[in-house]
Amino acid sequence: MPGAPPIPAHALTIDVEDWYHVENLTPVCPPDRWDSYEARLPANLDRMLDLFDEAGVKTTCFVLGRAAERHPEIVGKIVARGHELACHGWSHELIYRQTPAEFREETIRAKKFLEDLAGIAVLGYRASTFSIVEKTLWALDILAEAGFEYDSSIAPLHHDRYGIPDSPKQPHRRELTDGDILEFPVCTMHGLRRTFPLGGGFFRLFPVSWARKSIEEHAARGQSAMVYLHPWEIDPGQPRVDGLKWSHRFRHYARLGATMGKLRRLLKGHRWDTMASILGLAGDAAEGNA
């Protein structure tokens, strides 16, 4: 009798940015003041990398250009510890607030900056706040032109800031004007008769069992699930800023103290790998620097 199909690896992804880069805080933490704020990213990222070493897990780290500019040493740490280096853009601006020319310029800038720091090719991209939506699908053509092999910016669900509900829920290849690009969409979990992204504030708010059930459902279909988090989400001691709307304050600060323990539990019992490896691109980064 044929053996059981192999259990797929799943992707744990980290959007590498500091607490003040977040869209919810933009009204009171404008980009022109970012360099004046307390930097907590290096220490939080170290804590995450230590946990991943302890668990024997390799992740994909989507690094924000502005974060790497302020802390260039984090890029070397990510690569030296065996994680995949990917791109989170330069400014953390939502794509639907940019023109195609603005998006092209800053995306190419971010990719080159990371590649120069690391000495390897950067294959993957994730937009700020998953802001590749129906009206910004043109961004995928620019990503392909810039040399990205895959994108992970489309959420197949309804959200007030992002989402393409009828987009495929599994990794797939999207045809473009000239060529194509792989898309590894945001995975979803279900509860309260709604669909939520598998990560971020929703991971903090809801039981680990919801995330685990979604991962197991993906595995049963032979598909890889993807979880996303941010280093600031393990940091309950980060600064509290005044002037936020209640909803923004709740989204950013709720249950920060629970994240590390929940993440530690989630890592057990599943096989994890980088997005490039899952997509069959693992050798391309090194070859791109040859």
Task: Give the pLDDT confidence of 133-157 residue by residue, as tens digits.
Answer: 999 999 999 999 999 999 999 998 8
Confidence category of residue 269, pLDDT binned at 50, 70, 90: confident
CA of 205: how far to CAs of 48, 55, 252, 261, in Å? 19, 23, 11, 13
What is the average per-residue pLDDT within 170-186? 94
| Residue 288 reports pLDDT greater than 60 | no
Convert 131-146 to b/e letters by CB count within 10 Å (16 or more is b): bbbeebeebbbbbbbb
Q: pTM of the predicted model, to two decimals?
A: 0.95
pLDDT in tens, 17-28: 999 999 999 999
Cross-strand bridge partners of residue 61: 14, 85
The whole-chain average pLDDT of the chain stands at 93
- In tens, the pLDDT along 32-72 reads 999 999 999 999 999 999 999 999 999 999 999 999 999 99
The percentage of residues in the chain with a pLDDT greater than 70, rounded to a whole number, is: 95
- What is the number of alpha carbons within 13 Å of residue 68 lying toward its C-beta? 29
The set of residues, in sequence order, having a beta carbon less than 8 Å from that of 201 and lying 6+ positions away, is 233, 251, 252, 254
Q: Length of the chain in residues, anyone?
A: 290
Contact indicator for 163, 194 with CB cutoff of 8 Å: no
**Are 87 and 62 within 8 A, CB to CB?**
yes
> What per-residue confidence (pLDDT) applies to 281?
94
pLDDT class of 191 with cuts at 50, 70, 90 = confident
pLDDT at 87: 98
Q: pLDDT for 209-262, tens place per residue?
A: 999 999 999 999 899 999 999 999 999 999 999 999 999 999 999 999 999 999
